[in-house]
Amino acid sequence: MNLRKNRIRLAFLVFAIASLACGLPISSNNQSPTAIPVSIDKAKSLETQLNQALTQAAQTGVLSFEVTEEQLTSAMSLYLQEEQSSVDLPLKNIQVRLRDGKIYLSASTQQGFFKLPVELVAGIEAVSCKIKFNIESASAGPIPIPKEQLNTLVPQAEQALYEQITSSVGGNVCISSIIIQDGKLSVSGQKTP
């Protein structure tokens, strides 16, 4: 009888410790922030803002624009919804957060029967007049995406973005500053000969 009481106490103690452990935050990053709502208006305002900034750069030689995480989240979500058939990125529920000098992208993807969270953390800076992404981490579920795969994709994305900017401005552009803070990404630069 005494052995049975000890087993019950031990089981209760293990259950109590497990319950407490499940309720304790392991890290502040595990808390899910409030979802950023997707808005057609925010996506359109981003497009308008960028067009105005590129037009101004073509006329004055000075490039300057600022975008919010709401605009980026909306634009990316709507783009992927529209291009779902032609884009080989089955991502849903995209959220883009701009904090502490970094871009935090989260989404979900369906792979067979499994729904996996996708997360990417990247810095972005101006290096030698061009945009440079520094991927700190990327994962699909519990599996990190190998750096080798990222190292081939990142330069292509950087070049495509730079070419889009230069073709819109009508010449070379020297990106001089990229700042991320408080939910905003600010870019400045100038047209070069």
Domain boundary assignment for the chain? 35-192
> Per-residue b/e over 4-32, b at no fewer than 16 CB within 10 Å?
eeeeeeeeeeeeeeeeeeeeeeeeeeeee
In whole numbers, what is the pLDDT of the chain averaged over residues? 79
Work out the pLDDT band at 18, boundaries 50, 70, 90.
very low
Total-model pTM: 0.74
Band (pLDDT 50/70/90 cuts) for residue 71 is very high
In sequence order, the β-bridge partners of residue 184 are 68, 181
163-183 pLDDT, tens digit per residue, is: 877 777 777 889 999 999 999
- pLDDT given at position 8: 45
- Can you tell me the distance from the alpha carbon of 135 to that of 147, in angstroms, rounded to the nearest whole number? 9
User: Would you state the pLDDT for residue 14?
Assistant: 38
Q: pLDDT tens digits for 101-153? A: 999 999 988 877 888 898 999 999 999 998 898 999 999 888 898 888 888 77
Q: Residue 27: its pLDDT value, please? A: 37
Residue 4 scores a pLDDT above 50:
no
At 96, the pLDDT band (50, 70, 90 cuts) reads very high
pLDDT bin (cut points 50, 70, 90) of residue 88 is: low
Highest mean pLDDT pick, 5-9, 20-24, 111-115: 111-115
CA distance 141 to 46: 30
Q: What pLDDT, on a 0 to 100 scale, did the predictor assign at position 55? A: 86
pLDDT given at position 50: 84
What are the residues whose beta carbons fall under 8 Å from the beta carbon of 51, sequence distance 6 or more? none
Q: What is the pLDDT of residue 23?
A: 37
Residue 186 reports pLDDT greater than 90: yes
